Structures are given as C-alpha cells and as structure tokens.
Amino acid sequence: MIFPLLLICYYAFTDKGTGAFTFGNFIRFFSDTTAITTLLISLLIALVTTVLCILIAYPVAYILSRMRASKSYILVMLFVMPMWINFVLRAMALRELLDLVGLLGRSDFLNYVNSVIGMVYDFLPFMLLPIYTVLTNLDKSYFEASADLGANGFTTFFKVTLPLSTGGIMSGITMVFMPVFSAYSITNMMGDSSTNVIGNKINGLFTTTSTWGVGSALSFVLLVLVFLAMIISSVATRKTAKATAVETAKKGGGAQ
C-alpha cells in the first residue's frame, strides 16, 4: 500500500523530461480551469451522494433498530444482498431501469443526476450498516432515564439518540464520501463522455495522454483532500462523543 503512494509522490514532484524536482505538475493542474471545475463537480457529487445516503439510511436504520432482532436481521440482509451481485451487473441493471423511465441520456444535467442515483444505490449499504450497528448497541437505560426525566420521544431523539449515534454517521460518511469522490465507473455507465469527474480525469492523464506527472499531482491533491476529510471526521467524532459524555454526566448528577 505504501509503495504505490511513494510512486505517486515521486512522479508528482518530478519533471518528465529532466527527472528533476519540480512543482510544475501542480502548477499545470491549478492553472487548468477545466481540471478545477472537474474537481469541484466531483466534490459536489460526493457531497450530494453522502447527504442523500444519510437522509435515507438513518431513518431506515432507526426503524430497524427498534424492531425485534429476528425481523431486523432479515430486512438488513435484504439491503446488503445486492452487494453480493457483481458491480457491473448492478450498474447495468440500474442503467436499463433509468433508460426505461426515460431519464437516461436526455441532458448533461440528467446525466449527473443519474450518476448520483447510481452512487446512492451502490453506496447506501455502507452508510446504513454503521448507523444500524451503533443504534442497536445503544444502552437502553439512556432512553429510560430520558423518559423518567419527562422528555418526550422527539426530545429524546434529538438530545440522546442522535448525539450518541454520531459515531456511526461519521463512519458512514467516511465510507461513502471518500470512495464516491474518486469513483468514475458509475459515472461512465450512467452518463456519457460529457459526464466528467476527477477520477475520469486522472484515468485519462495516465492512460490516454501519458502525462503521469500531472496525473500523479492530481492524485496527490486528491489524497491530501481525503486525509483532511478523515482528520476532520475523526476530530468531529471525538468532540461529539466527549460533549455527549459530559452532558450525560451532568444530567446524571442533576437527577441524583
């Protein structure tokens, strides 16, 4: 895993002609408005996909966690079962479905919408499972204490359940946002040549134009962004967990 990363760093900071150390590959990337636009579009697709996965997965995970274990396991399995099918077959089946309802190839905007639909369909289980696992493992005494202190279901959810499940949400965000940010296979299947994302751009730099230096520089930038997202996610999770623990301890002391 480390060796390919070292190769990316080497080519990113190396001039193709002379082999000397250079920042020219990064300058070429940041001076290319098309590449910057592609990066921003990829970021937007990743953000929209992640938000939609949260909006769908959290209510489903919450409902499943409140059900009896025998039923919830079966329903969770139904969400996971599509992952057993080959990725290409799943993507092609969804493409045919979108074509059947008339959403395929109508415009550039619809191509991006179809790409988001494909991303959500493919990565939804990665958001659902962490949230479901956290919700099912929550200590039920928190809910009993909340009810004893006079909180209704609405207040209990926003003051107890949601803060305590932040770890699962952050794990889901990490498992969805980062792969979607660099993915391009689904975009190629759901759109056309005009539906360009950053992963497609990198692939073209390596395979079509053979500009490994610029491709490595772009990969390096993407790698830095992914690491920053991981750090932010980790810090946010720790702060939320600490704040929730402190608030719970204060409430517990007040109740006593």
**4 residue type, one letter:** P
The residues that bridge with 21 in the sheet, in sequence order, are 14
In angstroms, rounded to a whole number, what is the distance separating the alpha carbons of residues 166 and 162? 6
Q: What tokens appear for 234 in the block?
A: 């980790």
Cα–Cα dist 199/184, whole Å: 5
Which of 62, 243, 43 is CA-nearest to residue 169? Answer: 62
**Do residues 113 and 103 lie in contact, with contact meaning Cβ atoms separated by under 8 Å?**
yes
Tokens 């751009």 locate to 201
Enter the tokens of residue 143.
């809910």
pLDDT tens, per residue, the chain with 256 residues: 889 888 888 888 988 777 788 888 888 888 888 888 888 888 899 999 999 999 999 999 999 888 877 777 788 788 777 777 877 788 888 888 888 887 776 777 888 888 899 899 889 989 999 999 899 888 888 888 888 888 887 888 888 888 888 888 988 988 898 888 888 888 888 876 566 788 888 888 888 777 888 888 888 888 888 888 778 877 777 776 666 665 655 555 554 4
Report the interhelical angle of 212-255 vs 140-148 (nearest 10°).
Answer: 50
CA distance 249 to 102: 55
Encoded tokens for 120: 């959500």
104 burial type by CB count under 10 A (0-12 exposed, 13-18 middle, 19+ buried): middle
Listed as own residue / partner, the contacts of 232-241 with beta carbons closer than 8 Å and 24 or more positions apart are: 233/170, 233/173, 233/174, 234/170, 236/166, 236/170, 237/166, 237/167, 237/170, 240/163, 240/166, 240/167, 240/170, 241/166, 241/167
